[in-house]
Structure 1
């Protein structure tokens, strides 16, 4: 193993930088953290990965990686000590489902709690300005940040941050944070006393947004000390032991969380899949799909939440289904039984086309017009 460290280019403000940073800290993988500047973000990073995006992970052999899940896959293969992937079937599948939910469902909440509360802007302006243009005068940094902020605010409507939905989002967030607080009263991490890939999926929104931005940190996180403690443990890379719950168990405190995931996230996945299959019917095999499709609607806290469909979400769900497809018949039966118990059986009925990741977008695999994950039967 080379002694040269990895390089992580990102911002503490960034949703997915927090996910990867917490992972690296837990795994004790040597890395240099570098605040991504304008040149790296828009020139070098784009040339190496094809995207203007953060975080960027540079390997010791100068391979540039983009996408937090790809980074974790790469690092797990090279640093097997303290694995974050459970070996038992239900915990493994549930942790991948939690990662997908954390990565994809929480984005509107994170952006809403940042951009609709003005007191957060001073922190964003200060940190983003010094990172983007570190040697420039402050007034130039502020102008650059204002441009970036306008671009990010321009995304709000697409991800569902619409005035008529503010109250729904606030009520949902309070309820979900209360459920997580109740869980962390009894458990250090989601599945026991050691973090899994599910914890790292969820921590993205909690570390970079809700846990650091002044308004949500004060109003939403501080009144929930056990949630706050979990965020801090994740950031510090601490684990009380090396054990998950015994016998492939999930804590009862997670049952209401997974019931909500199944009642809300799976319908979102189904709605995206419906649009992707409609596009597939008129697109040549292998063609990269648009980053965004049309509006979809799904439940949120007993109401209906609207946003645009992102085909990329299906690639994250495909990661979950791939884990299930690789299991033996007995293991698959356990996962099916668990999914049914939390209302998620519909996930296994979705005919999701086989997808290939292309930067921030996906393509339907050439020659496979409807490559459904095939599950074993007893």
Structure 2
């Protein structure tokens, strides 16, 4: 891969985007030359869908003119081009668990991140202004009307449309609050989540913690008050550089990860199973009870069926001894059975394994 700083990667994204922030944190740490291109309406409606098959951020244009999409396979591929220092731990068990944690952080923290952004009036007013100023500045409509349209769209699609109701709101917020508490305990003993340098797990959690929870007024105030070590870690990840951020990773899977693995086993993987069953049944929406809380009329996500498939692929790729270790760990935390519960969760996405060069699919 050409790493000439005169020909950087072109990252099309937003300064308030969950996954753009995740990828930028990774690129900064690896010291991979890039420039962020503020996504305009023209990019969003024409260029990005044409090149990647889907209107989502970030989209990356490589120096050779190819395009890639979806941060998880993007990072996988970039690791083959800039292999040192590796962010996916070389220890097989740590490597698999870091992928599981990345997937959990990417997908399960999405709902609370969007809820805090669009359910709280002050946050919604601020962020709708930022979106309009960055992406819709050239749309010839009055600013207040554009901002109102953004707020209504986001609330309809990502709050009410993703199962946030009076019944579930407390549980949705608890996902964030418990994650803060668990990360605070982990960061009490190390600067990064697995040791002295960042790994894939750091960048997974960084996605929501940086440009949502750490940026939006309501959740950022909570973070500063309840989890100052997490607040500090967000800045540490953003400032980390491979040339100066060195050190060893912890041995194995530290015990402090137990509570988050418990959450994966009791909440996230059961959700993935219900979603996969709905996909197999060709249902556009489904109901599921998570930790005794009934979520109704959730949108079925083909992409998240693919997430479940990928977790299984990575588990099956482990050598026999590492797979036994992984099974023992996952069984202790209630993760093993739901990981394999659904028979043949076939998303049909990327059967040739071309991601991140394959055309992407929307999460919903």
Which interval holds the TM-score relative to the shorter structure?
0.7 to 0.9
Relative contact order (C-alpha < 8 Å, sep 6+): which is higher? 2
Contact 2:109 2:176 in 1 (8 A): no
Summarize the Cα distance change of 1:270–1:125 in structure 2 as closer, same or farther, 3 Å threshold: closer
1:288-307 alpha-carbon deviations (Å, 9 max, x no partner):
xxxx822231324x534443
Tell me what 2:356 maps to: none
Q: 2:310 aligns with which of 306, 319, 333?
A: 319
Q: How does 1:301-320 map to 2 (within 5 A)?
A: 302-306=292-296, 307-320=298-311
Aligned to 1:370: none
Q: What TM-score do the two structures reach when normalised by structure 1?
A: 0.85
Over the aligned positions, Cα root-mean-square deviation in angstroms equals 2.2
1:28 is the counterpart of 2:19 = no
Q: In structure 2, do the counterparts of structure 1 residues 348 and 88 end up closer, same or farther at CA, with 3 Å as the change threshold?
A: farther
Question: What is the Cα deviation at residue 241 of structure 1?
Answer: 2.3
Could you say which residue in structure 2 is the equivalent of 1:153?
155
Distance (whole Å) between structure 1 residues aligned to residue 136 and residue 175 of structure 2: 37
2:250 — aligned with what?
245
Query: Aligned partners of 2:286, 2:101: CA distance in 1, in Å?
Result: 24
CA distance in 1, matches of 2:25, 2:47: 24
Partner residue, 2:360:
359
> In the TM superposition, what are the counterparts of 1:326-337 in structure 2 within 5 Å?
326-337=317-328
**Distance in structure 1 (CA, Å) of the matches to 2:53 and 2:320:** 40
**2:355 aligns to what?**
none
- Gaps spanning 5+ residues in structure 2: where? 351-358
Secondary structure of the equivalent of 2:263? Answer: helix
Comparing 23-32 with 83-92, greater Cα deviation is found at 83-92
Query: What is the 5 A alignment of 1:204-243?
Result: 204-238=207-241, 240-243=245-248
How many residue pairs align between the two structures? 346
The 2-side partners of 1:44 and 1:308 are apart by 27
Q: CA deviation at 1:349?
A: 4.2
SS at match of 2:167: helix
Per mean C-alpha deviation after superposition, the further-off stretch among 350-359 and 264-273 is 350-359
Instruction: Provide closer, same or farther for how the CA distance between residues 49 and 91 of structure 1 changes in structure 2, counting only shifts above 3 A.
Output: same
The one of 338, 342, 345 aligned to 1:350: 342
**TM-score scaled to structure 2, two decimals?**
0.88
Q: Tell me: CA distance 1:50–1:144, structure 2 relative to 1, closer, same or farther (3 Å).
A: farther
Alignment of 1:98-177 (within 5 A): 98-134=101-137, 140-155=142-157, 156-177=159-180
Deviates more, 1:266-275 or 1:22-31: 266-275
Are positions 1:276 and 2:273 aligned together?
A: no
Aligned to 1:298, what secondary structure does the other structure show?
strand
Closer/same/farther in 2, CA of residues 150 and 340 from structure 1, 3 Å limit: same
> Aligned to 2:103, what secondary structure does the other structure show?
helix
SS in 2 for 1:360: coil
Q: SS of the counterpart of 1:186?
A: coil
Q: Deviations over 1:207-264 (max 9, x none)?
A: 1110000111112444311010111122223574242112xx1111111111111111
Cα deviations across residues 335-367 of structure 1 (Å, max 9, x unaligned)?
Answer: 1111112121201343233442452259xxxxx
Return closer, same or farther for 1:353/1:164 CA change in 2, 3 Å cut-off.
closer
Tell me the alpha carbon deviations over residues 50-87 of structure 1, each in whole angstroms, 9 at most, x when there is no partner. 22221111111121222111221221111111111112
Partner in structure 2 of residue 267 of structure 1 = 270
Deviations 1:84-122 (A, max 9, x none): 111212211111111111111111100111111111134
Is 2:87 the counterpart of 1:84? yes
